[in-house]
Amino acid sequence: MRRFWVTSCLFAFLGCGGGDGGSGGGGGAAETAPLGNASISGMVMFLGDAPANPAIDMSEEPECAAKHTDGPTNPIVSVTDGHLANVFVRVVGGLPGGPYPVPSEPATIDQNGCLYVPRVVGVMVGQTLAITNSDPLLHNIKAVPTENRLFNISQPRAGMTSNRIFTAPEIMVPFECSVHGWMNAYAGVVEHPYFAVSGADGSFTISGLPAGTYQVEAWHETLGTQSGDVTVEADGSATLTFTFGG
C-alpha cells in the first residue's frame, strides 16, 4: 500500500506521463499528470512450434545483406522460447474519457538492413512518427491507411528522416516499401497512451492507468487479435497473459 502512494503522489508531483523508460523522467514534464499509475504488465505466449519465417533474398541489395550475418529472414512471427514479440497490446474498454496528454517525443521507425525496425510500433493520435533510413539506398515509405491520409515518400539516401503525424485512431496502419517487397511494418494509432508492443521476450507493460476494469486487446499481423479483461487495483500492476497459436 505504502509504496503505491509514494509512487502515485510523486508521479502526480512530477506530472509526467507514466514514467516509461527514457521519456519518463522529464519528457512528459511539460504535460499534465496521468490519470493514475496502476499498470498492466503481461506476457504474450505462443503455443506449439512457431511457423518458420520466410527467408529474404537480399542478393540484389548487398548493402543490406551485409547487415544480416546469418541469412536474413522476415520476422513475421518472431517467437523466442514460447514468447511472441511484435504484438500490439492496447486498452480498448473501461477508460475514463480523455483528453490524454500527447508525448512530445516522437515514436520512431528505422529502415535498417532493408527491414523496418521496429516492425510494430504504437503511436498516439497527434504524436509525431519519425521515419529514418539507415541504409545507403533508396527506400520508399508507403502507408496505405483507411482512416488517415495516405502517403508515399522516398528516402534515397542514408540518414534521412521524415516526420508524419496521424490524425485519426487506426488499427493498424500498414507500411510497405515498394522497392523491397518484403518490408512491412504496422503502426497502431491510438487516441490514448495506454498501449504497448510486446518485446522479444513477449513482455509488455501499460502504465499510468487509473484503477478500474479494462478490456485489453492484443493484435498480431498474422495471428489475429485476442482480448482479455483485467482489473487493476489502484495499486498498480495486474498481470495479463495472451496466448496465440497452438
Partner 1 sequence: MSWILPPGASTFAGDIDFLYYVILVITGIAFVVVEVGLLVFAIKYRARPGRKAQYIEGSIKAEIIWTAVPAVTLVIIGLMSGGVWNHIKGRNSIPPNAIPYEVHVKQFEWNFTYRGPDGQLGTSDDFIVRNQLHIPVNRPVELQLIAEDVIHSFFVPAFRVKQDAVPGMDIRVWFEATKVGEYEIACAELCGLGHYRMRARVFVHSAEDYQQWLSDRAAAADEE
Partner 2 sequence: MMAGVGSGEWGAGTARHRFDSLKWLGVVVPAVMALSLLPAPCSLWAQDLDRGKELYERWCAGCHGDTGAGDGEAAAFMLPRPRDFTTAVYQVRSTASGELPTDDDMRAVIDNGMPGTAMPGWADKLSGGERDDVIAYLKSFSRFFQGAAPEPINVGRQPGRPSEDDLADARRIFVDELQCVRCHGDEGRGDGASAPELTDDWGFPIRATDLTRNWIFNGGGTVEDIYMRMRTGLDGTPMPSQSDAVDAGVITDEQLWRVAQYVRSLSPDDPPQRRDVVRAALFEGPLPSGPEDTLWDDVEPYYIPMVGQITIKPRWFAPTVDGIWVQAAHDNQNLTVKLTWNDPSRSPDPEWDAFFQGIVETLTDVDAPHVGEQGPDRIGVQFPLDPPEGLELPFFMGGDPRHPVYMWQWTSSPDRVREGTATGMGSFAPIPGAPQVAHSATFADGQWQVQFTRVLVPADPSVAVPFTPGEPLPIGFFAADGTAGEGGVRGSISAWYAIYLDVPTPPRVFVIPIVAVVLSAGLGFGIVWRAQRRERGA
Partner 3 sequence: MATSAVSLEPAAHVEAHELSFLRKYIFSTDHKIIGIQFLLMSFVFLLFGGLMAMMIRWQLGFPERPLPAGQLLPETMAPGGILLPEFYNSLVTMHGTIMVFFAIMPLLVGVFGNYLIPLKLGAPDMAFPRLNMASFWIAFSAGILMMAGFFVEGGHAAAGWTAYAPLSADPEWTGVSGGQQIWLLSIAILGLASIMGALNYITTVVNLRAPGMTWFRMPLSIWALFVTAILVLLAIPILSGAAIMLFFDQTIGTHFFDWTDGGQVILWQHLFWYFGHPEVYILILPAMGMVSDIIANGSRKPVFGYHSMVFALISIAFLGWVVWGHHMFQSGMNPTLGMTFMISTMIIAVPSAIKVFNWMGTMWRGNIRFHVPMLHSVGFVAMFVIGGLSGIFMASTPVDIYIHDTYFIVAHIHYVLFGGSLFAIFAAVTYWYPKMFGRMMNSTVGKVHFWLTFLFYNMTFFPMHDLGIAGHMRRIYDPSQYEFLQPLAPLNRFITVSALLLFTVQILFAANFIMSWFKGKKAGENPWEANGLEWTVASPPPHGNFAKVPTVYRGPYEYSSPLVEEDFLMQTRKLASDVDPAAAGP
Contacts to partner 3 by CB under 8 A: 138, 142, 144, 149-154, 156-157, 160
Given partner 2, partner 1, partner 3, none, residue 172, with its beta carbon under 5 to 8 Å by kind, binds: none
* Segment (H or E) for 76: none
- Letters for 81-100 (x = contact with partner 1 by CB under 8 A, - = none) are --------------------
Phi, psi at 178, each rounded to 5°: -70, -20
CB closer to partner 3 out of 86 and 133: 133
Site for partner 1 in 111-150 (CB under 8 A): 137-138, 140
Of the candidates 40, 47, 61, 17, the one whose C-alpha atom is nearest the C-alpha of residue 204 is 40
- Determine which residue in the list 97, 181, 224, 246 makes contact with partner 1, applying CB under 8 A: 181
Q: Does 180 engage in binding with partner 1 (CB under 8 A)?
A: yes
Residues paired with residue 55 on neighbouring β-strands, in sequence order: 73
Q: Does 52 engage in binding with partner 1 (CB under 8 A)?
A: yes
- Those residues whose C-beta lies under 8 Å from the C-beta of residue 139, and which sit 6 or more positions away, are 111, 114, 133, 154, 155, 177, 179, 180, 183
d(CA 96, CA 48): 38
The SS3 call for residue 217 is strand
- Alpha carbon distance, N-terminus to C-terminus of the chain: 39
What count of Cα atoms within 13 Å lies in the side-chain half-sphere of residue 111? Answer: 34
Given partner 1, partner 2, partner 3, none, residue 160, with its beta carbon under 5 to 8 Å by kind, binds: partner 3
Given partner 1, partner 3, partner 2, none, residue 35, with its beta carbon under 5 to 8 Å by kind, binds: partner 2
CB closer to partner 3 out of 71 and 159: 159
DSSP state of 73: B
Task: Pull the grid cell for residue 136.
Answer: 545507403
d(CA 196, CA 194): 7
Site for partner 1 in 151-170 (CB under 8 A): 152-154
- Smallest gap from Cβ 111 to partner 2, in A, equals 10
Task: Pull the grid cell for residue 207.
Answer: 502504465
Given partner 2, partner 1, partner 3, none, residue 55, with its beta carbon under 5 to 8 Å by kind, binds: partner 1
Given partner 3, partner 1, partner 2, none, residue 150, with its beta carbon under 5 to 8 Å by kind, binds: partner 3
Residues that bind partner 1 (CB under 8 A): 52, 54-55, 57, 59-60, 137-138, 140, 152-154, 178-181
